Structure 1
Amino acid sequence: MKQLTLYLSIILFQFQAIVGQVQEVNPPDYIKTITFKGDTSESQLPILTLGEYLVLEFDALNGDEEDFYYKIEHYNYDWTPSVLARAEFMEGFDNQRIRNYENSFNTYQIYSHYKLTIPNQRTRALKVSGNYMLNIYNDYDELVFSRKFMVQENMAQVGVSIKRSRDVTYLDEKQSVDIIVNSNNIRFNNPSQTVKTLIVQNNNLTTAISGLKPQYTLGNELIYKYTKETSFWGGNEYLFFENKDIRAANNNIQFIELHDLYNNYLFTNVSRKNKPYTYNPDINGNFVITALDVEKTAIEADYAWVHFSLVANNTLKDKQVYVYGNFNNYATNQSNIMHYNADSNTYQASILLKQGFYNYKYVTVDANGVLGEGDVSGNYYQTENNYKVLVYYRDLGARYDRLIGIGETTSVNISN
């Protein structure tokens, strides 16, 4: 029996090595405005406590009233496949059609609005904590898009504080995260092997830091006070616009035209790199769907082509420039790439967005695929950012990584 268990473990390890970390799949062009959150949070990165609800909403702009289906998968801390069977992490069953949808009303852009809530009558509960992926499929069992979420047990206390970088080279550009983990419910055995942490800035998993081990252990208290390893670029406050009144110029909208759909032209932005930091309240890259004079925003808010423009400079000429934010899950692809216009010496992009309040900024990607969040916006230690620290624990002999606690803070009170 022991030999069989060892053999299966080797096979599993090899399979995970081949599969690697699972990545979110971004949707095709006709799927828009994916909002994904818990019932008690406005965050676009749902981190639920066991028993809480998960809510996914999105629009399909093809006008076909297409059927969509959902499946749920459980993953380890590092987003490799979990060994748990569905019956072990879920009560009920998935692979069900999303039944709650409505068609748009009184809008230029026709769309169907879908809403999925978990738990529901068929997927009655998620039974264990950890990492999950929600996959959305069409009638042909083709994956349309996927989103990550986490479920925690609230078994540990996670203290988080934000400091200026301890590396004097980046003293004015980076922010460092200090962590203290304690638990009255779990006795940490061999914490350097059994405890894992994930640090997320502004709900952006693409720039998250993971794989850190506690530096010090005081009884059952784990302390992380790294010099470089927990440092993030400070970035800058997000830019924003609001088009809740789609027929009139509003915050940061220069003028409006109506063709087949409304076109909102934003004021041209300039690079903020190497300029003095200026505080500008934002919602850390998030977005909120809102519209004036409607009763039901989900189906009565219209879509508009939003035109972004950025004054070009020589530092960007060998890089791709993108419009960046939670509205497209911080992706850098053809849907939000900017194109250079030689006549106006600007980078330009047109993105179809639902009415609302949006945060965005401009980022670059170089020839090696390296993301430059500060190439246009600059990096400043004073920037107000949101930080979440997730703590996972897999006891000796356990079969999956439990998410035992979460800590959250902002850098508004950053200290030396």
Structure 2
Amino acid sequence: MQKIIAILLFFSSTQIFAQSDKTFVNENKIYLPNIKTVLCYNSSKEQSLPVIQLNATEKIFFSFDDLLGGTKNYWYTIEHCTADWQTSRISTADYLQGFDSDRIIDYRYSTNTARKYTHYELSLPNSQVQPKIGGNYILKVYLDGDKSQPVISQQFYVVDNQVAIAAEITNSLQVADRNAKQKINFTINHSIAIANLYQDLKAVVLQNFNQKTAQINTKPAFVRPNQLVYNDLKTNDFWGNNEFRKFDTRSLRFKGDNVKNIYRDNESVNVALFQDAPRNAEAFANQYDENGNFYIRNTDGRDDQTEAEYMGVLFTLNAPAPNANGEAYIVGRFNNFTLSKENKMLYDAGLKQFYANVMLKQGLYDYEYAWFDNETKTLESLPFEGSFFQTENSYQIFVYYRRPGARWETLIGYTNLSNRPTDRR
């Protein structure tokens, strides 16, 4: 017990004093350690993918917390990107109406929390900043109007619908992978004239909103009149992985799902989860999850955004290291499946135990354990979680087109599909 408390206190007291990165990248990233809980989704459905239709009434909801509290001078801009998230080297006049930047003025202070913070919100498009063409966009937040002081970069999508996409999820057609992988077949139905199919049109497939799973399709298996079929035997195969693990901290008065202990004083709140075991040697067990998602909730208060508490959450995995040259991480949509010092796990070789403490905002969380192999430079959950074709996953398909003579790629189609019989989200 003393070891657990010592770990919790050490991590919770050191997590917001690291140095920041100084250069923007076109990916979902937080650059300052005091910035937490970045949310970005279509406002019509909480934690949906941030996709909106061009010239429609839909909005992107974006928010974050600053654990240093007070009021900061945060500014933002948006930039158009290519299908592979490179900057589209075009003028802001080509893709923006209104201004090219503005200050975030919607903020509120936390109340009734041990750790004080300031909550910021933004809605796009708005009266100041409005995208006027379809495509990938990167939202950049920076301090004091100075882009050399990055705070957050966040991807979102604007669809100029011109095609229809029909898709299905099946077993992998590779015999060796049929029990572990899922395959996506899809058809693009269109009425536009495509001059150079293999250069001007791309289709990107993601699993569970995770950009690191992206597979880019440039060559359909069959070309028919007004129809492109992507069902090649060897493409768009994804590890099925396993159902995500989860924990519930909606209330800090009672122990929710997977919560072992709650430690609370006037200055901090810490939560220890039950120790996890590897699932790579087990048979598949079906359970409902949120495909890696998370939801900010506080049933002890009235306002989820400003009354939810920040907690140090202790994760423990009882498993031997898969090899001697790698590291274990805790990943989920709460950290965009990225690797950082905060979600890297320490390893006790004597106990064969991994552990880490991650600062999270009160709510419901999906997570999994992944292993980064330093030799192959690959990140996989298989060593700890296993992989099964029965796992329920969601897949997103994006279609991009560059018109003849155009200087940018337009997002002309999007669909989201799931092998869950009833999507209750």
Return the match for 1:32 from 33, 36, 40: 36
Normalising by structure 1, what TM-score? 0.90
Q: Which residue of 2 aligns with 1:83?
A: 89
After TM superposition, give the deviation of residue 316 of structure 1 in Å. Answer: 4.7
After TM superposition, give the deviation of residue 146 of structure 1 in Å. Answer: 0.2
- 1:134 counterpart = 2:139: yes
After TM superposition, give the deviation of residue 227 of structure 1 in Å. Answer: 1.7
Q: Is 1:289–1:354's contact at 8 Å kept on the other side of the alignment?
A: yes
Aligned residues: 392
Q: Secondary structure at the match of 1:376?
A: helix
Q: Is 1:215–1:224's contact at 8 Å kept on the other side of the alignment?
A: yes
* Aligned mates of 2:363, 2:307 — CA distance in 1: 12
- 1:32-87: per-residue Cα shift (whole Å, max 9, x none)? 11000112233453111113211110000012321211011111222222132111
Q: Which amino acid aligns with 1:393?
A: Y
Q: Which residue of 1 aligns with 2:402?
A: 394
Q: Which residue of 1 aligns with 2:101?
A: 95
Q: Which residue of 1 aligns with 2:345?
A: 338
* Aligned mates of 1:44, 1:204 — CA distance in 2: 12
Q: Is 1:45–1:148's contact at 8 Å kept on the other side of the alignment?
A: no
Q: Secondary structure at the match of 2:384?
A: helix
* Aligned mates of 1:240, 1:264 — CA distance in 2: 14
Q: Which residue of 2 aligns with 1:290?
A: 297
- 1:312 counterpart = 2:316: no
Q: Is 1:188–1:220's contact at 8 Å kept on the other side of the alignment?
A: no
Q: Is 1:182–1:220's contact at 8 Å kept on the other side of the alignment?
A: yes
Return the match for 1:374 from 373, 376, 382: 382
Q: Is 1:338–1:347's contact at 8 Å kept on the other side of the alignment?
A: yes
Q: Which residue of 2 aligns with 1:156?
A: 163
Q: Which amino acid aligns with 2:397?
A: V
Q: Is 2:26–2:153's contact at 8 Å kept on the other side of the alignment?
A: no
Q: Is 1:44–1:326's contact at 8 Å kept on the other side of the alignment?
A: no
Q: Secondary structure at the match of 1:400?
A: coil
Q: Secondary structure at the match of 1:87?
A: helix
Q: Is 2:26–2:155's contact at 8 Å kept on the other side of the alignment?
A: no
After TM superposition, give the deviation of residue 314 of structure 1 in Å. Answer: 4.3
Distance 1:110 1:343, change over 3 A: farther
Q: Secondary structure at the match of 2:341?
A: coil
Return the match for 1:357 from 353, 359, 364: 364
Q: Secondary structure at the match of 2:194?
A: coil
After TM superposition, give the deviation of residue 226 of structure 1 in Å. Answer: 1.8
Q: Which residue of 2 aligns with 1:48?
A: 52
Q: Secondary structure at the match of 1:298?
A: helix
Distance 1:159 1:100, change over 3 A: same
After TM superposition, give the deviation of residue 27 of structure 1 in Å. Answer: 3.2
Q: Secondary structure at the match of 2:315?
A: strand
After TM superposition, give the deviation of residue 335 of structure 1 in Å. Answer: 1.1
* Aligned mates of 1:297, 1:43 — CA distance in 2: 14
After TM superposition, give the deviation of residue 103 of structure 1 in Å. Answer: 0.5
Q: Which residue of 1 aligns with 2:334?
A: 327
Q: Which amino acid aligns with 1:392?
A: Y
Q: Which residue of 2 aligns with 1:251?
A: 257
- 1:206 counterpart = 2:212: yes
After TM superposition, give the deviation of residue 398 of structure 1 in Å. Answer: 1.8
- 1:181 counterpart = 2:188: yes
Q: Secondary structure at the match of 1:169?
A: helix
Q: Which amino acid aligns with 2:348?
A: N
- Give runs of aligned pairs for residues 404-415 of structure 1, distance below 5 A: 404-412=412-420
After TM superposition, give the deviation of residue 159 of structure 1 in Å. Answer: 0.8
Q: Which amino acid aligns with 1:307?
A: L
Q: Which amino acid aligns with 1:375?
A: P
Percent of aligned positions with the same letter in both sequences? 33
Distance 1:375 1:212, change over 3 A: farther
Q: Is 1:35–1:44's contact at 8 Å kept on the other side of the alignment?
A: no
Q: Which residue of 2 aligns with 1:8?
A: none
After TM superposition, give the deviation of residue 245 of structure 1 in Å. Answer: 0.6
After TM superposition, give the deviation of residue 274 of structure 1 in Å. Answer: 2.1
Q: Secondary structure at the match of 2:322?
A: helix
Q: Which residue of 2 aligns with 1:195?
A: 201
After TM superposition, give the deviation of residue 404 of structure 1 in Å. Answer: 0.8
After TM superposition, give the deviation of residue 317 of structure 1 in Å. Answer: 4.2
Q: Which amino acid aligns with 2:232?
A: Y
Q: Which residue of 2 aligns with 1:66?
A: 72
Q: Is 1:191–1:214's contact at 8 Å kept on the other side of the alignment?
A: no
Name whichever of 338-347 and 392-401 sits farther off. 338-347
Q: Is 2:249–2:363's contact at 8 Å kept on the other side of the alignment?
A: yes
Q: Which residue of 1 aligns with 2:5?
A: none
Q: Is 2:28–2:336's contact at 8 Å kept on the other side of the alignment?
A: no
Moved over 4 A (4+): none
Q: Which residue of 2 aligns with 1:3?
A: none
> RMSD value over aligned CA atoms?
1.7
After TM superposition, give the deviation of residue 342 of structure 1 in Å. Answer: 4.5
- 1:17-39: per-residue Cα shift (whole Å, max 9, x none)? xx9x9444333221111000112
Q: Which residue of 2 aligns with 1:10?
A: none
Name whichever of 62-71 and 125-134 sits farther off. 62-71
* Aligned mates of 1:41, 1:84 — CA distance in 2: 32
Q: Structure 1: which 5+ runs fail to align?
A: 1-18
Q: Secondary structure at the match of 2:263?
A: strand
Q: Which amino acid aligns with 2:36?
A: K
- 1:235 counterpart = 2:235: no
* Aligned mates of 1:224, 1:246 — CA distance in 2: 49
- 1:225 counterpart = 2:221: no
Q: Which amino acid aligns with 1:168?
A: V
- Give runs of aligned pairs for residues 101-112 of structure 1, distance below 5 A: 101-112=107-118
Q: Is 1:134–1:146's contact at 8 Å kept on the other side of the alignment?
A: yes
